[in-house]
C-alpha cells in the first residue's frame, strides 16, 4: 500500500501531522509520500520521507501516474482535490478538513465548495472536534466521514531535563495571523510583566508566514510597550526537534504556555507542551477540548478576557502542588489517548473500508 498526503506548504501543525503519521504508517509497512505546493521552513524537519514540492499540474500528473497511490489525502486545498480527479486519479481520494481558520472562514469555504467536495471526494477526514463534527454532518450527510484524534510521537518527543532558568518564562507558539490571536498574548504578557518585571516571554513563529499587516501591528504594539519589548524574545522557524527542549525549559522555569487561538482543529502545540510537562492555559478553541479538561489537564480562559487569563496564569505559577498535579495528568493523558499506534490502526481501517466500497 502507498499513501500520499498533500498540503499547501510544510509548516505548523500540518507539517507535524504529516510527518508523524507518515512515520507511524511506515513502521506498519505502508509507504508514505508528502506533496506540498510550496516550500517552507518546516521542510527541514522532514527526514526519510519522500517529499515533493510541486505546483505544476503536468509534474503532479507524472508523480501520480508513476507512483500509483492506493489513497491520496488532500488537506484543505480544494484546488488540489480538483486536480487529482482532473489528471485521472481513480483511487481512494480523501478530503481532510484541518487548518481552515476561524469558524467563519471554515463555514464560508465549505459552503462555497460544497458541491465540488461532494462530487470529488470519496470520504471526509477530520480530527475529533465538536464544531467540525456538527458542521460537516450538516453539510455532507451523504459522504462517508472519519474522525479520529491526531497522533503524537511520545517515543521521540517529550520532556528533556535542561539547565534551570532564573525567572518564569511564558511561551506562545503560532503565526502572526488573525486566527492565532497573537495580540491577545501580548496583552496578557504585558500585564504579567507589569506584575513581575523579571518574567520573560518566548514568542515562537514562522516569520515567512506572517501576514504583512499583522506583522506591522505586532511591531507597533512592541514599540508602544518598552517593558514588554525588553522582556520578549521572538524565535522564528525553530526546528521541531528543538521544541521539546524549549517547552521543557518553560515548564521547569515555573512558567507556562498560553494558547490564544480563536479556533484550532486539534492544537498540536498544546499537546506537545503537555508531553513536555509544561502547563497550558488556553482559549476553548475547539479541538483543544480533546486535550484540556479544565483544572485536570490544563486551564481554559475566556477568549478576550485578559484579566481572567492573567489571574489563571498566576495561579498556575503560584500553586505548585496543583501545577504539578496538572502536568502529571496532562502528560499521562497524551501518552494514553494520542498514540501513533492507535492512529495507524484507525487510518488503515478507514482505507480498508473505502477500498472495499470503491
Whether the model clears a pTM of 0.85, i.e. scores above it, the answer is yes
Q: Where are the domains of the chain?
A: 2-151+339-357, 169-337
Q: What is the pLDDT of residue 358?
A: 66
Per-residue confidence (pLDDT) for residue 357, from 0 to 100: 82
CATH 3.40.50.2000 correct for 2-151+339-357? yes
What CATH code is assigned to 169-337? 3.40.50.2000
- Using the structure block, give the residue that is written with the C-alpha cell 492573567: 310
Task: Establish whether domains 2-151+339-357 and 169-337 are of one fold.
Answer: yes
Contact 133/146 with Cβ under 8 angstroms?
A: no
Q: Tell which residue, 176, 226, 235, has the closest CA to residue 204.
A: 235
| pLDDT mean values, one per 10 residues, the chain (358 residues) | 97 94 98 97 94 97 98 96 95 92 84 94 93 91 95 96 93 95 98 96 94 96 96 95 97 98 92 98 93 97 98 98 98 97 98 90
Amino acid at each position: 500500500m502507498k499513501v500520499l498526503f498533500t498540503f499547501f506548504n510544510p509548516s505548523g501543525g500540518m507539517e507535524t501531522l504529516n510527518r508523524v503519521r507518515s512515520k507511524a504508517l511506515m513502521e506498519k509497512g505502508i509507504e508514505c509520500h508528502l506533496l506540498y505546493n510550496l516550500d517552507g521552513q518546516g521542510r527541514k524537519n522532514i527526514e526519510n520521507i519522500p517529499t515533493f514540492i510541486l505546483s505544476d499540474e503536468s509534474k503532479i500528473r507524472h508523480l501520480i501516474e508513476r507512483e500509483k497511490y492506493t489513497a491520496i489525502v488532500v488537506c484543505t486545498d480544494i484546488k488540489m482535490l480538483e486536480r487529482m480527479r482532473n489528471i485521472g486519479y481513480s483511487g481512494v481520494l480523501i478530503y481532510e478538513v484541518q487548518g481552515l481558520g476561524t469558524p467563519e472562514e471554515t463555514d464560508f469555504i465549505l459552503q462555497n465548495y460544497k458541491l465540488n467536495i461532494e462530487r470529488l471526494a470519496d470520504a471526509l477526514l477530520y480530527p475529533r472536534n465538536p464544531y467540525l463534527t456538527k458542521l460537516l454532518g450538516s453539510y455532507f450527510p451523504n459522504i462517508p466521514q472519519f474522525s479520529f484524534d491526531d497522533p503524537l510521537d511520545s517515543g521521540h518527543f517529550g520532556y528533556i531535563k535542561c539547565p534551570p532558568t532564573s525567572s518564569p518564562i511564558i511561551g506562545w507558539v503560532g503565526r502572526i495571523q488573525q486566527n492565532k490571536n497573537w495580540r491577545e498574548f501580548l496583552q496578557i504578557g504585558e500585564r504579567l510583566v507589569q506584575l513581575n518585571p523579571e518574567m520573560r516571554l518566548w514568542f515562537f513563529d514562522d516569520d515567512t508566514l506572517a501576514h504583512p499587516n499583522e506583522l506591522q501591528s505586532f511591531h507597533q504594539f512592541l514599540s508602544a510597550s518598552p517593558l514588554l519589548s525588553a522582556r520578549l524574545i521572538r524565535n522564528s522557524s525553530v526546528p521541531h526537534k528543538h521544541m521539546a527542549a524549549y517547552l521543557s525549559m518553560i515548564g521547569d522555569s515555573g512558567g507556562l504556555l498560553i494558547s490564544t487561538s480563536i479556533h484550532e482543529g486539534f492544537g498540536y502545540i498544546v499537546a506537545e507542551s503537555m508531553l513536555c510537562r509544561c502547563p497550558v492555559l488556553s482559549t476553548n478553541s475547539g479541538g483543544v477540548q480533546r486535550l484540556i479538561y479544565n483544572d485536570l489537564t490544563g486551564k481554559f480562559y475566556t477568549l478576550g478576557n485578559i484579566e481572567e487569563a492573567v489571574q489563571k496564569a498566576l495561579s498556575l505559577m503560584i500553586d505548585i502542588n496543583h501545577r504539578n498535579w496538572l502536568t502529571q495528568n496532562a502528560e499521562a493523558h497524551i501518552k494514553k489517548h494520542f498514540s501513533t499506534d492507535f492512529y495507524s490502526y484507525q487510518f488503515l481501517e478507514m482505507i480498508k473500508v473505502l477500498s472495499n466500497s470503491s
